[in-house]
Chains A and B, each alone.
Chain A
Amino acid sequence: MSDMIKVVVDDRSYNVEEGSRLIDLLIKEKIKVPYFCYHEALGADGNCRMCMVEIEGQKRPQIACDTFVKKGMEVRSKGDNIEKVRTNILELELINHPVDCPTCDQAGECSLQDFYMDYGLHDAEITIQEKIKHNKKMDLGSNVMLDQERCVLCARCTRFTDKITHSHELGIIGRGDHARVSTMPGRKLENPYAMNVVDLCPVGALTSKDFRFKQRVWFLKTVNSICHGCAKGCNIYIDHNKMKYQDDVIYRFRPRRNDEVNGFFICDEGRLSYKSLQENRQKQILLRKKVILNDQAVEEIRRLIDIYKFHIVITIDANLYTEEIESILAWAKVLGAKVYAPMEIYQDETFQDDMLKSANRAANTKTIENLGIDTGIPHKSGLLINFNHPQTFECDSKIEFKTHKTENTEFVLPLATYAEGTGHLTNEDGIVQYSEQALFMNAPVPTVTEWIEKVQL
C-alpha cells in the first residue's frame, strides 16, 4: 500500500493514499463533482470532460478522474471559474440531446438533469435548431432498449461489455457528432449481466424494457435487501410503491454496491426474480381444497400435532432468514421433531459462472450448515411440517407453509416472502448480511415466526 498523504480540497485537508484518483476522493467525501464517464468499476475514460477541477500550479482546469493525488496538491472544486467551465461543457452536451424528459423513463434519476440543476439553469445559447437525429427505439436484446439521441457517449456500456463481461456486444459507431452506441453487426446484447448497462447509463439512453413506463422513479421507495437467487447473496435495492387503493408492489431490483460480495452488479436472473416473487402467491389457508379461517387452522395444526406426537418431521427451505430457522429449531425441540433441509434440489450447475452466479440456489445454505441441520432426505414420518421447502416427502399427514401456490392442497397455509419480512442471511462465503422489509401489504401474511407464535399460544 502506498503512503497516506495530505491533499487540500477547497481549503479542507484530507488524508488519502498517494497516487489514488482524485475523483475517488471527491466521491468518497461527497464533494460535488459532475461526471458521466467515470465509474469505479470501469475506471477512467476521460471522455465526458465534466469532472473539471482547478489544481494549484496548473494553467488549465484538469479532469479529476485522470488526476492522481500528489503530496501537497491543492484542489479547488468550487468557484465561478470552474463552474463556468462545467456549464459550458454541459451546454455542449445538450446541443444534440432531445430534451424529451417528460417522456423519458430516466427522468428523476438522470445525471444530465441533476447537473443541469447544478450548473445549467440558464437561457440556452444554442441558436441552431436542428439536432442530429438517431434511432430512438432500438431493442438491443436482453430487455435493454436504446435511445441513441439521449446518449452522452460516456462509453460506460461499451466498457462494461468489454471489461466486465468480456462479451463485446456493444460498440460506438460513427465519428464526431454522428457517433452512437450500437450492437456489433449481426449481434444482440446477450449476456447474463446485460441489464447492468441500464444502471450504468447515466442518462435515459439505455432503459429497461421490463421497468420502463411502469412507474415514475420519484414515486418509488427504496429498501436495502439481499437477492435470494443463489448463495452469493448479492446486495440489492428493492424499489417498491404502494399506490392509492392498491397493494404494495415491487417494480424492480437494482444492484447495491458491496465490494465484499457482488461489487457493483447483479445478474439479470436475480434482477428479474422480483416477478416470480410476487406472482402466484398463496394467500389463503386451504384445508383439503376448502378455504378456512386463521383460528380454525391453528386448531387443526394443534390437533395434528397431538395425534402425531413424536412422529413429526419438519422440512425447511434454505432461503429462510436465520431468525426464522432458529425459531423453527426451538419449536421443533418442543415438539420433539427432527428437522431437515434437503439440499439436493438447490444444486444447479448450469446456473454457475465465474462472476456472481453460484451453483447453490439457496440464499441461507451456510446457516443451515452452521446450525448442523440434516441436509439429507427425511425418513417417512407421521406428520410432515414443511416450511416452504420446494419438495414434499413421504408422510401420513402434512402441514405446508407456502409462499407460493402449490399443487398439493391437503393443508396449505400462506407464508410471507422474504420481501415481506426481515432478517439475516449468511452467504456462501460466510458473510452475514441483513435484509430489510420492503413490502407492507394491505392484508399481511404471517411470517414463519408469527405462525409459530400463533400455534404455541
Chain B
Amino acid sequence: MRECQIVSRKFELENSHTLEVSQENGGYKTLEKLKEYSPTDIIKIISDANLRGKGGGGAPAGAKWELMPQESDKPSFLAVNCDESEPGTFKDRQIITKDPHLLIEGILITCYAIRAKHAYIYIRGEYYAYQQILQAAIDEACEAGLLNDCDITIHRGAGAYICGEKSALLESMEGKRGHPRLKPKQKEPEWYFDNPTLVNNVETIATVPFIVENGAEAYRAYGTEKSPGTLLFAMSGHVEKPGVYEAEFGTSMMEYINHYGGGIKNGKKLKAVIPGGVSCGVLTAKEVEGLTLDYEALRAVGSSLGTGGMILMDEDTCMVTALKNILEFYHEESCGQCTPCREGTGWVDKLVGKILDGKGTKADIDKLLKIADTMNGKTICVFAPAVSTVIVSFIKRFRAEFEVIL
C-alpha cells in the first residue's frame, strides 16, 4: 500500500494548527505561485486534475468552477461546506483542527480563480470547539496580511443535517429555514442572495493547494483513471484503531481496514460495512472482499463511496437494530419539505420499530420496500432516495435477520 499525504501531510506535527508551524512546513507557498496564473488557468488546472468533490457526491469540481462567471456585475461568493453531519464521517473536522491554514490557503486560491472577494465557511453548530481553532487560524492569517482583500467568515449552523445539502446550506446562510431549493433546469452556479456562489466541501478546497503547487499530473499520479487522487477515508465502529487515514482511490478496502484500522475489534469476524457514511447502501463482508475504494467500484456493487467514512460491523451486530438506529436519525433529520420524505421517514422508522418489538409481519417487510420505492426519486433533494437505498440494501442483504425477529 502506497502511503500518500496530500491533505494530511501536516496532521502529525505538533501545533500544526498554528500559522508558524504551517509556514515552516510550506504553508501558503502557492500564493506566490498564483501570480503566474490567471484565474481561468487555475480552473483549467483543477479541471485537468479531474478533482472530484469530496463531500460525498464525487462530481467534478472543475466543472462547477467553470460555471462561475468570470465577468459579472454581481459579486461572487465561495461557500465552504463544513456541515459534516453524515454519521460515520469526521474527516473535515481533522482538517480544520489539524491544518486549518491549508483550508485557508485553498480558499484564497479558489476565491482568486472564481473572482470572489468573500468566502463563507458553513460549519455545523456542534463543532463549536473546532470552530474556535479555525477562527483563531483565520485571525492569525488575517493579521499576517495573508488574506489580502479576501474576507473569510465562519457561519455556524444550528444543527440540521440537511444544511449539508448545498442549496439548503445557502438558504440557511440567508437566514431562512434550511430547505433544499428546486433544482435549476440548466447548468448554473448556486445562488447566495441571488449572487453566483460556489459551494465546495472542506476537503475539496484543502486539496487545491497541492494541485496548484504540483500540477494536475502530480495529483493524477495517485488514484485510478476515473477517480484520481486521494481521500481522507475514515473508519468507525467495530475496528481496533478507528480514525481518519488518507489513502488514494483504488486502494483495496480490506487492505485499508487491516493496515490502518488494525482489523476488526477483538478479533471478531466482519459482518457488514457501510462504505461512506450511512447514506450509502450496506455491503456484506463477502462483497467487500476484493473491493477497491473508488467511486466506480462501489457503484458497481450497488452502493456508493460517499464521504469515505466507513462504518464497520462485526458478526454480533443485529442488522435490524442497526437499521432502526439509522432510520431514527433520518426521522429526526428530514427537513419536512417534501411529503414522501416528511411522512415516509417517520413511517419506516415506526415500522422497523414494530418489527424489532416482535409485532411485525412478513407483509411489513414488503411494505418497507414499497415505501422505499415511493420515497425514491420523487423529492427535491437526495435525502429520501438515500433513505430508500439504505432500507433496500439492508433488507436485500439481510432479509433473513428481519424474518427471524418476526
Contact = CB atoms under 8 A, between A and B. Distances in A.
Nearest to A59: B377
B378 interface: yes
Nearest to A94: B343
A60 B331 contact: no
A127 B340 contact: no
Interface string B322-364: 0000000001111111111111111100110010000000001
Interface in B360-406: 364, 367, 370-371, 373-374, 377-380
B216 interface: no
B378 A49 contact: yes
A132 interface: yes
Nearest to B185: A68
B343 A128 contact: no
Interface string A79-117: 000000100110111011000000000000000000000
Contact of A92 (B160, B185, B340, B377): B340
Nearest to A92: B343
Nearest to A63: B378
A93 B343 contact: yes
Interface string A164-204: 00000001101111110000000000000000000000000
A230 to B, nearest CB: 35
A37 to B, nearest CB: 9
Contacts of A66: 182
Given A177-B331, A177-B346, A89 B378 contact: yes
A26 interface: no
B9 to A, nearest CB: 39
B177 interface: yes
B339 A152 contact: yes
Interface stretch (A40-48, A232-240, A370-378): A40-48
A177 B342 contact: yes
Nearest to A61: B378
Nearest to B347: A95
B331 A47 contact: no
A125 interface: yes
Most chain B CB atoms below 10 A, which of A44, A61, A177, A179 = A177
Contacts of B354: 127-128
Contacts of A95: 343, 346-347
Contacts of B367: 125, 127
B343 A44 contact: no
A179 B334 CA distance: 10
A312 interface: no
A126 B364 CA distance: 10
A172 B347 CA distance: 21
A92 B371 CA distance: 9
Interface residues on A, range: 35 or more
A52 interface: yes
Interface residues on B, range: 20 to 34
A50 interface: yes
Nearest to A179: B336
Nearest to A91: B374
B345 A46 contact: no
A267 B11 CA distance: 64
Contact of A132 (B333, B346, B374): B346
Contacts of B364: 127
Given A128-B347, A179-B342, A89 B374 contact: yes
B182 A46 contact: yes
Nearest to A48: B339
Contact of A46 (B332, B344, B380): B380
Contacts of B350: 128
B339 A47 contact: yes
Interface string A53-67: 000000111000010
Nearest to A88: B374
A89 B371 CA distance: 9
A68 B378 CA distance: 17
Interface string B139-164: 00000000000000000000010000
A383 interface: no
B332 A176 contact: yes
A172 B336 contact: yes
A175 B378 contact: no
A63 to B, nearest CB: 8
A57 to B, nearest CB: 14
Contact of A178 (B336, B338, B351, B378): B336
A88 B338 CA distance: 14
A153 interface: yes
Contacts of B373: 88
B336 A49 contact: no
Contacts of B337: 47, 153
Interface string B165-184: 00000000000010000100
A264 to B, nearest CB: 22
A49 B379 contact: yes
**What 9 pairs across the A-B complex have the smallest Cβ distances?**
A179-B336, A176-B334, A92-B343, A177-B346, A88-B374, A60-B377, A128-B350, A46-B182, A47-B337
9 contacts: A45-B182, A46-B338, A48-B338, A52-B378, A89-B378, A92-B340, A128-B347, A172-B177, A179-B342
Interface of A: 44-50, 52, 59-61, 66, 68, 85, 88-89, 91-93, 95-96, 125-128, 132, 152-153, 171-172, 174-179
Given A88-B370, A127-B367, 8 more contacts: A47-B380, A92-B339, A92-B347, A93-B339, A153-B339, A177-B342, A177-B343, A179-B335
